[in-house]
Amino acid sequence: MCGICGCSQPNPNSTAHHHDHTHDHDHHDDHSHDHDHHNHDHHDHKHSSHEAERLIKVEQDILSKNNLYADQNRAFFRQRGILALNLVSSPGAGKTTLLVETIKMLKDQLAIAVIEGDQQTDHDAERIRATGVPALQINTGRACHLDAHGIGHALMELGIKPNSLLAIENVGNLVCPSAFDLGEAHKVVVLSVTEGDDKPLKYPDMFHAADIMLINKIDLLPYVDFDVERCIEFARQVNPNLQIIQLSATKGENFKVWTDWLTAQFPDHA
Amino acid sequence: MHELSLLESVREILEQQAVQQNFVTVTSVTLEIGKLSSVEPEAIRFGFDIVMQNSLAEHAELIIEHVPGLGLCLDCQQEVEISALYEPCPLCNNFSVKLTQGTEMKIKELNVR
């Protein structure tokens, strides 16, 4: 049994479960309060126990459990010199193709492993395995994102080598995965030019959470109504520090800028 | 709809608290949701009753406190209020506001017995 979470999977990490968390709490007078009234009566003593009601201060981040697992994953990566990237995008932006091409270019230089997240099927993991690198598929079922707990288990199953590049391809979704830290070094957001150039403004959480944005499928620019400059301007409004690379994963245009960025993250391999 | 996952985390925290603080029923849950968090309060309201069904917080009242977004403008060095991640500093109009508040999603307090 997993000693961290009590689930029936093997323990992803031997570190004991702890509940420490810090409280950053600013109160502002302009809080507004919404009360959701349900159709039950708080004064209905027929249903209440005899114990008096009391107030308990909790002050706990709703994501605290996920963040604890993310910290454990991050420690796992740090101890082994693993660079973990969390690739996020809408469905169809080209994450898997980008990974396949990245692996083809770098696999002789770097140990690479991939965790694939999709609601169903292991088609993507099969595509990755065809390149000769290990890949594990996580099917999230009804969930719309990967979480740090699932990644912890995947790490144990994958048997990842020290000093590897670990690419985690998240579920295609520009909303939910932004909230869930997986322990990665960077979120990489992929936006393809067949989408709207205003996506950074429409889905600001993700572009705010990412460190690098890849504008993919630039070979299709002549055929689509996508204004690259406008897109970059919007993205930098949301995140002034965002690094941006324009490339085409299928045609190879500018692809070396991306792989150079990746290898630069591994000083020993560059 | 990651709000359902978040609500499942809320329920787990309530169950943990019930053991630690010795209570059996939660009558109200107060959440603090930042205006710049990736959470839609309406989706939280929608899912709350469903996720709390058959739990110690079934029929609990949900109270959501909205926390405004604040940031420090790195250009004009002022603390400013912002209502969206893509908004410029309202004072100098530059996009260099470093968030200091408004992304939180917290369980603040519970009424229990």
Out of B6, B41, B107, whose CB is closest to A58?
Answer: B107
What integer pLDDT is reported at residue A20 of this predicted model?
38
Q: Mean pLDDT, consecutive 10-residue segments, chain B of 113 residues?
A: 90 97 97 93 94 97 97 94 93 92 96 96
Residues, chain A: 270
C-alpha torsion sign, points B46, B2, B55, A52: negative
Phi-psi region of B54 (alpha: psi -120 to 50; beta: other; left: phi over 0): left
Distance, CA of A178 to chain centre: 6
Contact B51, B20 (CB under 8 A): no
Instruction: Report the distance separating Cα A203 and Cα A179, nearest Å.
Output: 12
Verify whether the Cβ–Cβ distance A52 to B49 is below 8 Å: no
Do A60 and B101 lie within an 8 Å CB cutoff? no
Q: Is A57 on the interface with B (CB under 8 A)?
A: yes
Q: Compute how many other C-beta atoms are within 10 angstroms of the C-beta atom of residue A92.
A: 12
Alpha carbons A112 and A100: distance in angstroms, whole number: 11
Its ipTM equals 0.91
Q: What is the pLDDT of residues A110-143, one digit of tens each?
A: 999 999 999 999 999 999 999 999 999 999 887 8
Query: pLDDT tens, A1-19?
Result: 454 455 655 443 333 333 3
B2-68+101-112 is a CATH 3.30.2320.50 domain: yes
Q: Could you tell me whether strands B105-112 and A54-61 are parallel, antiparallel, or unpaired per DSSP bridges?
A: antiparallel
* Tally of CB atoms within 10 A around A125: 22
Chain B's closest residue to A37, CA to CA, is: B61
pLDDT digits (tens, 9 = 90+) for A154-205: 999 998 999 999 999 999 999 999 999 999 999 999 999 999 999 999 999 9
Model confidence at A37: pLDDT above 90: no
Which of A44, A50, A56, A62 would best serve as a mutation to test chain B binding (most B beta carbons within 10 A)? Answer: A62
Distance from CA of B113 to the nearest CA of A (A): 5
Q: Where are the domains of chain B?
A: 2-68+101-112
Exposed, middle or buried: residue A174 (CB in 10 Å: 0-12, 13-18, 19+)?
A: buried
Kindly indicate the confidence band of residue A266, based on its pLDDT and cuts at 50, 70 and 90.
confident
Q: What domains sit in chain A, N to C, each tagged with a CATH number?
A: 65-264 (3.40.50.300)
pLDDT above 90: residue A270: no
Percent of chain A surpassing pLDDT 90: 77
Checking if the pLDDT of A69 tops 90, the result is yes
Q: Who among B49, B86, B107 is closest to A238 (CB)? A: B86
Angle at Cα A63 formed by Cα A61 and Cα A66, nearest 5°? 135
Name the nearest CA neighbour of A70 among A186, A184, A211.
A184
Q: Among residues A178, A205, A193, A257, which one has the least CA distance to residue A231?
A: A193
**A57 vs B5, B70, B109: nearest CB:** B109
Residue A64 has pLDDT above 60, yes or no: yes
Label residue A141 left, alpha or beta by phi (over 0 means left) and psi (-120 to 50 means alpha).
left
Q: Is the pLDDT of residue A41 over 50?
A: no
Asked if residues B26 and B67 have their Cβ atoms less than 8 Å apart, the reply is no
Give the number of A-B residue pairs with CB atoms closer than 8 Å. 138
Integer Cα distance of B64 and A224 in angstroms: 43
- Banded model confidence at residue A50, pLDDT cuts 50, 70, 90: low
What gap in Å lies between CA B80 and CA B99, rounded to an integer? 9
pLDDT band at A229 (very low <50, low <70, confident <90, very high): very high
Residues of chain A neighbouring B25 (CB-CB closer than 8 A):
49
Check A36 against B62: CB less than 8 A apart.
yes
Output the pLDDT for position A143.
83
pLDDT at A22: 38
Residue A216 has pLDDT above 90, yes or no: yes
B49 near A CB under 8 A: yes
Asked whether the CA dihedral A127, A180, A120, A135 is positive or negative, the reply is: positive
What pTM was computed for the model?
A: 0.84
pLDDT of residue A2: 56
